[in-house]
Structures are given as C-alpha cells and as structure tokens.
Chain A
C-alpha cells in the first residue's frame, strides 16, 4: 500500500489557509543564499517552485555541490530534526517560491494538529524516502566508482611494474655495454702479455731442443751458467739505446751472425765485459761458437724472464678484475674507494694508453657502500672522459680527498672539450647522449650518467659536474663516510 501524497498545489493552498502555521510565502532569486552552513536555522521551508542548490564547504575551502532541492521538497529538515546548525549552504539556483515557517511551529503542528499531520506527513515521508533513495543511489555509485578505481589502480600498478622492469633492463644493458667494454679492454690488456707468453714459450721449446743437442764442456759450464743467470735478471732497454749498442757491438763482433750480436747487445756492459774475458781465455777457433752458446743461454734466461713477467701481468689483471667485480650487488662493505679506482684504471689500461694519466690519491677514510655499484660509477666516468678526449690524446686526472666533517670526494677530470653550460644538468638525464651514431660502438644509450647519478644518490652522495679551469670536464663524486 502506498501512501498517497496530495498534489503540492493543494498542500500549499491548505497550508496557506491555516494561519496557525504562520507560514510565509518567500520568493527567492537565483544566487540568493537561503541557508548558510553552520548557522543556526529555525525555519523549515517547503519549496513550491524553483530549484535550490545544496552545497558544503570542503576542507580546502572549495564548495562541494551536494544535491538539488526542488518543488515539493523541504528545506531545513535536518535542523528540524536535530536542532543542529545548518548542515548545508542552500543557494537558490532559479527564481522560485517557497513556504517558510518556524521549525518549532512546524513541530508543534505536526504533533498536535491531525489535519496538518495528515497533510504534511506523507510529504515528509516522501521527502525522506526520496533522500534515502538518493543515498542508496549514491552508495551504488560509490561502489561502482570504487570498483572502477580498483581496476585502474591495478592497471596502474602493472604499468609501474613494467616500467620498473624496463628501466632495469636498460640499466642491465648499460651494464652489459660497460661490461662489454670491460671485456674488450681486458682482452686487449691480456692479449699483449699473452702474445709475449705464448711466443716465448714456443721459442723456449725450440731453444732448449737446440741447446741440449750439443754437449757442454766442463770448462765452459760456469760461463754458460752466468749467461743464463744474466738472462733471468735482464732489464729491458729502450730501443734507441739498444740500436746504438747493437751498432757498436756489430763492429766488435763482426764475425758473429747479426742475430747473436743483437742478443748480446741487450747484456749489461759490465756483465758482457766479464763474459768476454772468460771467452777470451778459450782457444780462438772455438770463440765464435762459444759466443753463440753464451747468447743462447742468455736468451734462454731472458725467455724465462719474459714468461715470468707476462704471467705476472696477466695475474695482475685477473686480480684487479676480481677486486673490481667482487661482492654481490646487494652486499655492502667498508671499502677504500681508491682500490676500486685503481682496479678500474688497470682494467682499462688499454683504452688509457693513448692518454697521459695523472693519479693523486692521498689517504681517505673507508666508505660504506656497495663496491660493485661504485665501481660502475668510476668506470662510467673514466670511459666518458676517454671518449671526450677522443683521438687527440690528453690527460686524465684522478684525485680524491676528504671533505670534512663526514664526506670524501673523488674527482675525475679530462682535457677534452668540456661541457657547454646549457646542457650541464641535462647530461644526467636518461636518454640524453652526446654520443652520435658515428661513434665506434654506436650511439650512446644516454643512461650512463643518469645511472651513475642514481647509484651515487642511492649511497646518499652527490655527483657534480663542472668545467675545469684549463678546459675539459670535471666530475666530482661526494660520498658520506
């Protein structure tokens, strides 16, 4: 059974015709504020015609529109029921009229006058039902919105994950590129001692075969042993000097083959003199072949020395490599930053060969950090410096120091063209690269410096760039101790 509501016009007529209501007809214009939020309200109104906007002020001062009241709806019901100050601000939106009476009177009449009650109550009820419906609708809407919001949120999270993964991949690529450079650098570094090693070993094999084929006379044993020892301890001569000694000896030893003279020219003069005296003590006819044997034994010692030196060099490189790449990425340790710097310089010796190197690394306190990440920073900065100096050579300056009270700095400076001021900040942006497609290993990914910066910042440090007074760029990394 539904409760019938009388048509509004009828209600109005009836209400107007009851003086006890002390109702007034109020005409309102658009924009007129009929109720102000927070103000006490002792009136209740029934809207006959027109529309009234209900609004509430939000936390930030903006007005939130909360609904519209139309003809047949009561204004001020909440105040009526709870006596609270107005919940809303009511502002007319269109011109209209409403019937206003005092809330107390309204309540009283509702209680006492049955005909009033009969007239108004269904309206009231209708209003309330209407409002309830509106609330339910609102809930539904909210629920729907929330659902949609959740979906969006999910998608957003996914996208963020993908982006993160993407960035990680790029970082990996950059790392791989650096690694590639590192591997290439090591290959170069190792190739030279490897060549020397393998050649010396091969030659030594032939050498020994030849040397052991002829028996050694007892009276020449000590002479040949001395030659061998001299070979083991041999120092390398500059080629200019070698050439001069060669020419000088070629005259003295004109009867010996050129190959033998060249070998003897690398002997220290004092030792050569000593050997010569011994050889002179032998019969003249044996001397040429004796010199050959001296040269052979000396060369044998020299070959072994070459092998030693080459293996040492290779093991140095391997040691630097281990040190450079030790520790898991996540592991933190207290390290002396200088070790990492030196390792990087060793590993990339091949690239640095073209340039002069100036290294000034006084004592600095150890820094707590993830060494492999920090090493990546050094690698990046050093390679950039070399790249900047290009084919024309230059000087790379690596230095460090303390920045009291709690920081240390590392500076890497080159004598390249420097960085124009207008891009000085932009160089740290990802995908910013000055490496064109013409560079020998392709266009730059542009991530190097951005990653370097983020790695440094991860360590609560900072990285600054400047142009050096003499030209060239200067990168300073500051890290907390």
Chain B
C-alpha cells in the first residue's frame, strides 16, 4: 500500500515538472505548466495516492497559483515593454524608434494593450541603429508601448482571472448535478425508491426471469436520477429478503445480485444527472459553445439504454437461469401520501418537466436545477441533513475536471496538442470511435468520472481545431465518450456499484467479469453504432 502510494506521488510530481524540461516547440510556458498539471492529475487520479477529490482541488489550486492573473507566478512575471518614440524621417512619414529586440521576426512588433492581449502589428524597418531601430507601422501612437520581448510567454497567454478557476466549483453544471442529488435524496427520504420497486415488480409476477427484468428496470429508472452507487445500495437492501427465500445453489441469486449494478450503470446513462460523466461531458460542450439541452440528451440516450437493458436481461437469464419455479416477493410499499411527500412529488415532477421541455421554454436546465435546490428546503421537504449528505467529493471532482478544461483551452495547450497529431488523416468517425473505445477501456479500470475528466479535454481539443474534419462532431464525440465510460463494468474496481455487489458475498469475481464484460461489450458496440448512425442525426 505504502509503495503504491509513494509511486503514485513520485509519478505525479515527475509529471508535473517534466514538461518544463522537455523541448516542446510551439508550446508556451503556460502551456507547459498546464501540461504538467494535467499529467500530475492523471497520475494522481489513476493511482490514487491521495483521494480523487483532493487531486481535483489540487488542480484548481495549482492553476490559481501558477496560471491565474492574480497568482504569484503571473504577477511576478511582467511583460516588459518600452515606449515607442516618434522620430522624424526623411520622407516625412512618421517613424518610431523602438528597441531592436521588440522586433518580432523582423516583421512586426507587439503593441501593448492594457487589459488585453498584445496586438501584433506589421512593421517596416526604416533604419537600424544598433540597439534601436526605426520602423514604420500603422497603429502606433504617441503613447504607445511595444513589448520588448515578443517571445515572452505572457504574449501568447492571456492570464485567466482566478475567479474563473474558482468558479469551476459552482459551474452551472455542478448546480445541475446538485439539484439532481437533492431530488434523489428527497426521493429516498420519502421512500419513493421502495414504492417504485413495488410498483415495477408487482406486475412482473413470480417468474424468476421476470423478477430479474423488473429489478433491472427499477435499478435503471432509479439511477437515471439518483447516483448509481446510492441506487445500488438501496436496491441491495431491498433484494436481501428475496435472496433469503432462494435455495443456496440457485443461480437466480447471482442474477439478482448482478441485475442491480448492471441496471444502475446502464440507467445512469439516460439523463445528464444520471452519473457525473454525463454532466462533465455537458459542461465541456457548454464551454465550447455547443450547449446540449436536457431533453436532447435523453432523446439520444434513451434508445441505447433500453436496448442495452433488454440485451442485458437476456444475457443474465441465459448465463444464470434459475432453478426455482416461482418466487413470491411480497413487496408492498405504497407511495406516501403525507403533505411533504406530495410536495416532493410536485417538485420532482415539475423539475423533470421543465428539464425535458428546455427547448420549448428556453430556460437552461442549469437554472431549472435551482427549483429543487430552493423549493425542497423551503417547504421543509428536506433539511440540513440532506444538505450535509450531498456528495461534495463528487462535486469537487467534477469541478476539478471543469477547471482543467478551462486551463487547457486558455493556455493553448489544447490547440497545441491537437496540432501534434495528424487528425485529418483519420476520418471523423474514426476519431470518435477511437475516443469511445479508449474511454470504455479505461473505465473498466478507472473511475468513470476520472476517465471522462481525462478524455473530455482531448475530445474538446480535437473538436476545437478540426471542425473541418468531415464526420467529426464534438458533441457526438463527447456523448460517445461519456456513454462508453458507463459501460466499463467488468471488474469489481470498475465502479462502486460493482464493489457493493461483490461485498454481499453472493458473487464471485468470475460472475461479474462474465456478465459485466459481456454486457459492457454489447454496450460499447451499441455506442459505436449509435455514434455512427443515430446521434449524428441530432448533433452537428
């Protein structure tokens, strides 16, 4: 344990500093710093020497420290500038005297603009005077100053205000996610999850295969608005009585215990709030100006979710057919009718409605998210306890990813990275498919959220500079990456719902690998299919 930790920390620190020592032509200092931060974050997130959310905050902190306009590094490094002195020239045209080193490529100078990035203007050399040079350039005026070191890193990097990095913590998508969490907590508090379970399972009857289907559907439905992990935990408490009624050797036990994490993982794909990767994808898209409405996401995701659920069910009952004839479940939870529960239903329904009709009324889903955040506490439907129980570690994790994306864009690292690869040689779809497959592979070993956090910037960079690549749509790529990550569910370490299922002691690892792996492969296959044929219909 200790060794792994130390290795992770060492790797992260190496990654942080390494870019400063490497020859990275075309990448300015700010970009190098950002690359270092990115590499460090990658090492820390993957090897987890420190908790994941700590790494996210570390990212924000380093960005503020090293990259922000108010940070010590930027304020210490000032752009050197020199005044342009007017001189008279033989032909009467105005000429200006500037230091020779202010010349950029002998062809231009940079005009200092307070509060803005320097402007590059053409200059004609009139006379060289050793240390100084006389030039003629349009745009120079009496009080102009030119940058005397055109290669200074601050010329190509406009320092992001630290406010922007701080703001990642309250990014609208974070708020969106928080609203979803509060809705989910309220649902659990008023036993909506139990009521839904009873509702779904009642018509399923007593046939084992139908029970498996019912559990899949309930888990998927719940996890569409609750966290996958919480859904799995809740559902596990409900299925324990079922397990108690089953004989010890009945494969149905395995099917039942598997149905829950599988259903939860798949169901989380359905809505932007279903699982953090979705929210991160949305945030990244919004930053690039490609805002994806709530309803659109649902429209894109629902078909793949339903088909995967159906196929998952078939896989489960084929792999683990039950030896029992019928099982009496006896779930009898009712929907609560107390005033507060009714209030919760109203808020829930209204929020969902507003989310889904975003395009019709034009109010962003992030703003709608304030409805549950405000209404639920005001009417006493939830209280301090639920606020305290919000998954701040997840929200911070997302914030870290969002701020990383900001830095990647602002420092030009994204652009530079993309330029290193001949993307145009690949087809647009190939890039999307590659990203999706990479996401799926990583997500089997890493936290899904971390996977998407690491891949989103890459997708974004590709999208930012290669809109000319035919067949490539940034939105398509982001959705594919997010969806694919949710299908990484073959190992206990892939995702917490899997760990919970293993913890019941009913499953052996091989059961999970077989079922999770199979369903995951089906899922990624469907993702690639959707990315090729279905999603482009809606996404450009």
- Do chains A and B make direct contact within the complex (CB under 8 angstroms)? no
Interface residue ranges, B against A (CB under 8 Å):
none
